[in-house]
């Protein structure tokens, strides 16, 4: 039964530990599973152990202890089969800047055993999908930062992996390209590719992912479906722009309020109230609201709360 459940996971990590030669204990025995077809966010502050975990899964870092299985293939006993299932987009640029764009993807296809026409077809397919086909004969160095990121995604997809791991794929990419990358990632996830995403843009994780794990100081401190994680956030702060700027924050029954420097009113909603309740109270007080926005990204707020609660 255990074996069957593990086979159903795209990734299964058990008691994974990594201690570097300098004594830094980057992973302290983490456990998590990624279900087949999931869009999974692995979040954490800098130095939390995300990239180390990804390095071990993709064979770039030697583990100290623990087990990693990719679609049921152990990286200790069936490394070749496990690697065949993974496509990796690393955090740091790792393309040969002097090589032609088309050759980079074609060569990667060859490393996965795809030769001849199939390799050329796949290269064209993914360079077109990432809007780089017109640049195939240019050297990688001539591409913009966003294009290089897209090239790394095309390269990671050329063997059509079942599990795509993206380590900060949109770092330094402008919002327009980021949004188009999100759309692309949603499409390939819908087509069946399991995706693990690490990102510093928590809005990105909230928008894309169905499951989230938060890692801090080498330990998993949260691992649950995104909806359940967000439900844990029992309060939200809204910023209201009022038609008439008040001298001081009005007292609203059941709500904590604060007037901020910009003349806007911050209102905190607890779990017992809805926005409708708030508007009823405002209406009764004759306060006219021009616009409203959420003060902070919900996941970002929860993330900060979880990480800060670990601080001594």
Partner 1 sequence: MNVALNAIAVKTLIRKEMVRVMRIWVQTIVPPAITMTLYFIIFGNLIGRRIGTMDGFDYMQYIAPGLIMMSVITNSYGNVVSSFFGAKFGRHLEEMLVSPMSNSAIIIGHIAGGVLRGLMVGSLVTVIALFFTRLQVQHLLVTISVVLLSSTVFALAGFINAIFAKKFDDISIIPTFVLTPLTYLGGVFYSISLLPEFWQTASKANPILYMVNAFRYGILGTSDISIGHAYVILIGFVALLFSACLYLMNRGIGIRE
Under the rule (CB under 8 A), what is the footprint of partner 1?
Answer: 20, 55, 58-62, 79-81, 83-84, 86, 88, 90, 92-98, 103, 107-115, 155
φ/ψ of 73, rounded to 5, equals -95, 120
Residue among 57 and 278 whose Cβ is closer to partner 1: 57
Q: Measured from the CB of residue 216, what is the shortest distance to partner 1 in angstroms?
A: 21
Residue among 118 and 190 whose Cβ is closer to partner 1: 118
Q: Measured from the CB of residue 265, what is the shortest distance to partner 1 in angstroms?
A: 50
Residue among 24 and 274 whose Cβ is closer to partner 1: 24
**Strand ranges across the sheet with 219-225:** 86-89, 163-167, 194-198, 39-43, 211-216, 219-225
Q: Measured from the CB of residue 280, what is the shortest distance to partner 1 in angstroms?
A: 57
Burial class (CB in 10 A: 0-12, 13-18, 19+), 305: exposed
Residue among 114 and 307 whose Cβ is closer to partner 1: 114
Q: Measured from the CB of residue 230, what is the shortest distance to partner 1 in angstroms?
A: 33
Contact partners, residue 72, CB within 8 Å, separation at least 6:
3, 6, 7, 9
Q: Measured from the CB of residue 163, what is the shortest distance to partner 1 in angstroms?
A: 12
Residue among 63 and 211 whose Cβ is closer to partner 1: 63
Q: Measured from the CB of residue 159, what is the shortest distance to partner 1 in angstroms?
A: 8
Q: Measured from the CB of residue 77, what is the shortest distance to partner 1 in angstroms?
A: 14
Q: Measured from the CB of residue 177, what is the shortest distance to partner 1 in angstroms?
A: 22
Residue among 114 and 213 whose Cβ is closer to partner 1: 114
Residue among 74 and 107 whose Cβ is closer to partner 1: 107
Residue among 93 and 190 whose Cβ is closer to partner 1: 93
């Amino acid at each position: 039964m255990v074996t069957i459940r593990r086979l159903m996971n795209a990734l299964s990590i058990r008691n994974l530990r990594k201690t570097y030669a300098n004594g830094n204990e980057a992973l302290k025995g983490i456990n998590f599973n990624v279900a087949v077809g999931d869009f999974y966010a692995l979040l954490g502050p800098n130095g939390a152990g995300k990239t180390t975990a990804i390095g071990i899964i993709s064979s770039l870092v030697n583990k100290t202890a623990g087990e990693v299985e990719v679609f049921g293939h152990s990286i200790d006993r069936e490394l070749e089969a496990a690697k065949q299932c993974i496509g990796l987009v690393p955090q740091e640029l790792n393309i040969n800047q002097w090589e032609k764009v088309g050759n980079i993807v074609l060569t990667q296809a060859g490393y996965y055993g795809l030769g001849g026409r199939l390799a050329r077809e796949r290269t064209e397919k993914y360079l077109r999908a990432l809007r780089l086909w017109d640049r195939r004969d240019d050297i990688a160095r001539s591409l913009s930062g966003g294009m290089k990121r897209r090239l790394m995604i095309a390269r990671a997809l050329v063997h059509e992996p079942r599990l795509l791991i993206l380590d900060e794929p949109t770092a330094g990419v402008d919002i327009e390209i980021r949004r188009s990358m999100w759309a692309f990632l949603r499409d390939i996830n819908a087509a069946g590719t399991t995706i693990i995403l690490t990102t510093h843009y928590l809005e990105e994780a909230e928008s894309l992912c169905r499951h989230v794990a938060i890692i801090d100081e080498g330990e998993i401190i949260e691992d649950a479906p995104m909806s359940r994680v967000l439900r844990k956030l029992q309060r939200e702060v809204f910023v209201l722009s009022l038609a008439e700027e008040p001298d001081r924050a009005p007292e609203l029954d059941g709500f904590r309020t604060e007037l901020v420097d910009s003349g806007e009113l911050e209102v905190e909603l607890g779990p017992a109230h809805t926005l409708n309740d708030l508007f009823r109270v405002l209406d009764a007080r004759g306060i006219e609201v021009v616009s409203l926005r959420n003060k902070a990204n919900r996941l970002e707020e929860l993330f900060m709360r979880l990480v800060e609660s670990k601080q001594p």
